[in-house]
Amino acid sequence: MNRTLYQKIYQSHVVGSLNGSTDLLFVDRHLIHEVTSPQAFSGLRLAGRKVRRPDLTFATMDHNTSTQVRSYDAAGETSRKQLEALAANCAESGIELLDLYHPDQGIVHVIGPELGLTQPGMVIVCGDSHTSTHGAFGAIAFGIGTSEVEHVLATQTLPQQVARTLKVEVTGQLSPFVTPKDVILAIIGKLGTAGGNGYVAEFCGEAIRGMTMEGRMTLCNMSIEMGAKAGLIAPDDTTFAYLKGKPHAPKAEHWDAAIAYWQSLYSDADAVFDTVVNIDGSQIRPQISWGTNPEQVIAVDQPVPAPESFKDLIKADAAKRALTYMGLEAGQKLTDIKVDVVFIGSCTNSRIEDLRAAAAVVGTQKVAAGVRALVVPGSGQVKRQAEAEGLADVFKAAGFEWREPGCSMCLGMNDDRVDAGQRCASTSNRNFEGRQGRGSRTHLVSPAMAAAAAIAGKFVDISQMSVAQGAQA
Amino acid sequence: MSQIFAKGLVCPLDKNNVDTDQIIPKQFLTSVSRDGFAEALFFDWRYQADGSANPEFILNEPQYQGASILLTRTNFGCGSSREHAPWAIQQYGFNVIIAESFADIFFNNSVNNGMLLISLSASNIEFLFNRCKQGSQQWQIDLANQEILLGNNAAVGFAMDQDVKQRLLSGLDFIGASETLSPQIGQYEAARKQATPWLG
């Protein structure tokens, strides 16, 4: 009684008490990738330790891979060494690896759910901050550092303290053209980049219930951008239907028992959250970031704010710096601003629904002259499905580059980068200075808004576009 | 009992929301080593596009060479989980960061490398920044008594998580500490297998 969903899952994973208020939590799934794991394996070797549960550990290659050629060599010498290190570490420890040549390879937060590795009630960790994505299934999922990766490899546990709980209720129905990406950007705009620090956020309300699993993943994915330790959504029939038949989902003999357990995973009616935020979903309009952190966001039909419009001096100062970096002036309309690059991809927005939404906007139109546009599917499965549905043909005919799965231009670890001074409409999650390349200017938008920007050569208010019928993701 | 955890020159980095992409940009994350990140710290701020040092960036100013205590503002270390961020900071020479607040993952990563991160109120942070404006600061950190000793008997106290404090004072290997619960981990695994066999 009176427990939040987070507290229920946390308590069921306590192995023991370490000291004071620190518990040792069991980890059900440990996802690893090439960038944040090599030093963890080296650490294990130095200490003479072994991987305790290779059967609960799964690896892929995504951050540091070429999206043009499927080859370890394609992204340079140091990248090749990193990929080879992961392959060798997985082989030595008996960890299943979806390497670059595996048909289901992809972004770790896309393939985990796709393969059914992500399930309600789990504790899931990965050396990547966007692990919060998996919270869409009603799992406690969060990013960890390399020392913690080593700790989980060695013990299948992690020391934790109970986080505070934040309830974000999004009531009402979303307008057409308003996607989960717009919802989470609006939430971050309201709460700020540090508004969730120390909290696990549970999203609920009619607008959330109406979202598909893909949409819920987009939402939880960006909960880290408001500083939350994790984002959570209670599992429901949408969740169960998504999981049924997935390769690692519970098999027939366990299915009913799993469902019964999953149905117990919700916040009790009398549960008390430390903080509650209510948002009227019907009032959210298509969002676009104008600055250099994800809270610097406006509805696309609003003017760029003036620094002096912020009462908080810190925010005013941040706005001033951001406008300078972004090459924008207060009062400008972003729909008057040209784009140089369009990136549709990342663990936030590279799933099949995202590509469908983007393709619906593109239709038979062409990418504007002078705009470089990329579509990078989140996984091999997404890529094959998009090709089967004809979406890839839509993109290619329009002049988009159709790439191999990977993190790509979200963080530009490989050769997919935005040049200094270039402006990018991006479906990714971070608009930090230099994130997509030194001097790059990132505007975070939904897949439909990104596609519309590619066609128009400038930002577009998607709600004003007649071709956007059915473009809601 | 006083126990000096660290002492040294203070570098005031007057910025809010310093994210991990600023602390260490992506091109340095391709390494398989835990070392060699000192040069990468704040790379895009420290170096100009042609590779020369940016004279306007505070770390490049002569009076802050050799600094070991970093003073900054709110939400330091937000963004990615890359532990390369605290590695770069530590390898550059900072073992203490004082800020109004830190991002959660960055905080944990830093503690796991034996660094001390001190959170203070906005007014105390402002007080310390003002002190830096008066001239070069050499401070000592008394971890046992949770005080920043500013010199001439001036001090600022700080609150901290007692579990974190114990870890920093004992210097205990955190994997080793958890391994003391190995029997409980085994029991948990057995019970889990029984109750939720589909989890593997």
The secondary structure of A120-157, three-state, reads CCCEEEECCHHHHHHHHHCCEEEECCHHHHHHHHHHCE
- Assess whether A104 and A160 both reside in one domain: yes
Over residues A85-135, the pLDDT tens digits come to 999 999 999 999 999 999 999 999 999 999 999 999 999 999 999 999 999
Assess whether pLDDT exceeds 90 at residue A20. no
Given an 8 Å threshold on Cβ–Cβ distance, is A194 in contact with B33?
no
- Assess whether A231 and A293 both reside in one domain: no
| A159 touches B: beta carbon within 8 Å | yes
- Assess whether B194 and B149 both reside in one domain: no
Over residues B41-67, the pLDDT tens digits come to 999 999 999 999 999 999 999 999 999
A-chain residues within 8 Å CB-CB of B113? 147
Domain edge (last residue) among A227, A253, A275: A275
Cα B80 to its chain centre, rounded Å, is 15
| Domain ranges, residue B74 | 4-160
Confidence of residue A184 (pLDDT cuts 50, 70, 90): very high
Measured between CB atoms, which of A148, A157, A197 is closest to B103? A197
Domain edge (last residue) among A251, A275, A299: A275
Q: What token pair was written down for A428?
A: 């990714």
Phi then psi for residue B119, to 5 deg, are -100, 135
Domain edge (last residue) among A275, A299, A317: A275
A283 part of a folded domain: no
Residue pair A473/A354 in contact (Cβ under 8 Å)? The answer is: yes
A210 part of a folded domain: yes
Kindly give, in sequence order, each residue whose CB lies less than 8 Å from that of residue A15, ignoring residues fewer than 6 positions away.
A23, A24, A25, A26, A157, B181, B184, B185, B188
pLDDT of residue B172: 75
- The CA–CA distances, whole Å, from B82 to A148, A239, B79 equal 11, 30, 9
Burial class (CB in 10 A: 0-12, 13-18, 19+), B138: middle
Rounded Cα gap, residues A451 and A433, in angstroms: 23
- The CA–CA distances, whole Å, from B176 to A25, A127, A155, B113 equal 15, 20, 10, 15
Over residues A370-414, the pLDDT tens digits come to 999 999 999 999 999 999 999 999 999 999 999 999 999 999 998
The CATH number assigned to the domain holding B41 equals 3.20.19.10
B34 part of a folded domain: yes
- Assess whether A158 and A302 both reside in one domain: no
pLDDT of residue A469: 43
- Assess whether A268 and A313 both reside in one domain: no
- Assess whether A379 and A231 both reside in one domain: no
Please say whether the dihedral angle defined by the alpha carbons of residues B77, B78, B80 and B81, taken in this order, is positive or negative.
Answer: positive
By percentage, how much of chain A surpasses pLDDT 70? 98
Phi then psi for residue A76, to 5 deg, are 100, 165
- Assess whether B23 and B55 both reside in one domain: yes
- Assess whether B184 and B125 both reside in one domain: no
Confidence of residue A206 (pLDDT cuts 50, 70, 90): very high
State which H helix or E strand residue B15 sits in.
Answer: none
Kindly give, in sequence order, each residue whose CB lies less than 8 Å from that of residue A31, ignoring residues fewer than 6 positions away.
A57, A58, A59, A60, A108, A112, A117, A124, A125, A126, A128, A131
- The CA–CA distances, whole Å, from B152 to A19, A185, B139, B149 equal 37, 49, 11, 9
A281 part of a folded domain: no
Q: Distance, in angstroms, between B141 CA and closest chain A CA?
A: 23
- Assess whether B181 and B151 both reside in one domain: no
Report the residue of chain B nearest A85, measured CA to CA. Answer: B32
- Assess whether A250 and A300 both reside in one domain: no
State which H helix or E strand residue A206 sits in.
Answer: helix A206-209
Total tally of structural domains belonging to chain B = 2
pLDDT of residue A467: 46
Total tally of structural domains belonging to chain A = 2
- Assess whether B72 and B122 both reside in one domain: yes
- Assess whether A70 and A171 both reside in one domain: yes
- Assess whether B177 and B147 both reside in one domain: no
Kindly give, in sequence order, each residue whose CB lies less than 8 Å from that of residue A252, ignoring residues fewer than 6 positions away.
none
Given an 8 Å threshold on Cβ–Cβ distance, is B163 in contact with A127?
no
Report the residue of chain B nearest A44, measured CA to CA. Answer: B175
A280 part of a folded domain: no
ipTM of the complex: 0.96
- Assess whether A235 and A297 both reside in one domain: no
- Assess whether A30 and A146 both reside in one domain: yes
Burial class (CB in 10 A: 0-12, 13-18, 19+), B60: middle
| B26 touches A: beta carbon within 8 Å | yes
Q: Supply the mean pLDDT for chain A.
A: 96
Given an 8 Å threshold on Cβ–Cβ distance, is A150 in contact with B179?
no
Q: Distance, in angstroms, between B142 CA and closest chain A CA?
A: 22
State which H helix or E strand residue B53 sits in.
Answer: none
- Assess whether B129 and B191 both reside in one domain: no
Report the residue of chain A nearest B179, measured CA to CA. Answer: A155
Over residues A231-290, the pLDDT tens digits come to 999 999 999 999 999 999 999 999 999 999 999 999 999 999 999 999 999 999 999 999
Assess whether pLDDT exceeds 70 at residue A466. no
- Assess whether A235 and A302 both reside in one domain: no
The CATH number assigned to the domain holding A160 equals 3.30.499.10
> Helix (H, G, I), strand (E, B), or coil: what is residue A159?
strand
By percentage, how much of chain A surpasses pLDDT 90? 96
A-chain residues within 8 Å CB-CB of B196? 121, 258, 261
Rounded Cα gap, residues A155 and A429, in angstroms: 32
- Assess whether A223 and A293 both reside in one domain: no
CB interface of B with A, residues 78-107, below 8 Å: 78-83, 86, 101, 103-105
A-chain residues within 8 Å CB-CB of B192? 26
Residue with tokens 């999981």: A243
Q: What token pair was written down for A253?
A: 């003999």
Report the residue of chain B nearest A434, measured CA to CA. Answer: B21
Assess whether pLDDT exceeds 90 at residue A294. yes
- The CA–CA distances, whole Å, from A103 to A212, A379, B63 equal 25, 9, 55
Rounded Cα gap, residues A138 and A9, in angstroms: 9
The alpha-helical segments, DSSP class H, found in A34-129 are: 38-47, 77-93, 108-114
- Assess whether B113 and B196 both reside in one domain: no
pLDDT of residue A472: 40
Rounded Cα gap, residues A25 and A18, in angstroms: 10
Over residues A55-88, the pLDDT tens digits come to 999 999 999 999 999 999 988 899 999 999 999 9
pLDDT of residue B1: 58
Given an 8 Å threshold on Cβ–Cβ distance, is A129 in contact with B80?
yes
Q: Which residues pair with A98 in a beta bridge?
A: A60
| Domain ranges, residue A254 | 5-275
Assess whether pLDDT exceeds 80 at residue B79. yes
B165 part of a folded domain: no
DSSP annotation string for B134-174: TS--EEEEETTTTEEEEETTEEEE----HHHHHHHHHT--H
- The CA–CA distances, whole Å, from A366 to A363, A432, A451 equal 9, 29, 10
B25 part of a folded domain: yes
B139 part of a folded domain: yes
Q: Supply the mean pLDDT for chain B.
A: 96
- Assess whether B63 and B140 both reside in one domain: yes
Residue pair A141/A118 in contact (Cβ under 8 Å)? The answer is: yes
B110 part of a folded domain: yes
Q: What token pair was written down for B138?
A: 């050499």
Q: Distance, in angstroms, between A467 CA and closest chain B CA?
A: 36
Q: Please indicate if the annotation marks A90 as binding a ligand.
A: no
Confidence of residue A465 (pLDDT cuts 50, 70, 90): confident
Residue pair A411/A431 in contact (Cβ under 8 Å)? The answer is: no
Phi then psi for residue A372, to 5 deg, are -100, 120
Given an 8 Å threshold on Cβ–Cβ distance, is A227 in contact with B103?
yes
Confidence of residue A19 (pLDDT cuts 50, 70, 90): confident
- Assess whether B187 and B107 both reside in one domain: no
Q: Which of A12, A16, A32 shows the shortest CA–CA distance to A24?
A: A16
Q: Which residues pair with A25 in a beta bridge?
A: A14, A158
Rounded Cα gap, residues A185 and A183, in angstroms: 6
pLDDT of residue A129: 97
B166 part of a folded domain: no
Rounded Cα gap, residues A312 and A189, in angstroms: 14
- Assess whether A26 and A149 both reside in one domain: yes
Q: Please indicate if the annotation marks A347 as binding a ligand.
A: yes
CB interface of A with B, residues 209-228, below 8 Å: 227
- Nearest 5°: CA angle at B105, between A262 and A149? 70
Going by DSSP bridges, is the β-strand pair B4-12/B138-142 parallel, antiparallel, or unpaired? Answer: antiparallel
pLDDT of residue B2: 65
Residue pair A8/A235 in contact (Cβ under 8 Å)? The answer is: no
- Assess whether B192 and B114 both reside in one domain: no
- Assess whether B151 and B193 both reside in one domain: no
Report the residue of chain A nearest B174, measured CA to CA. Answer: A151
Rounded Cα gap, residues B66 and B44, in angstroms: 20
B167 part of a folded domain: no
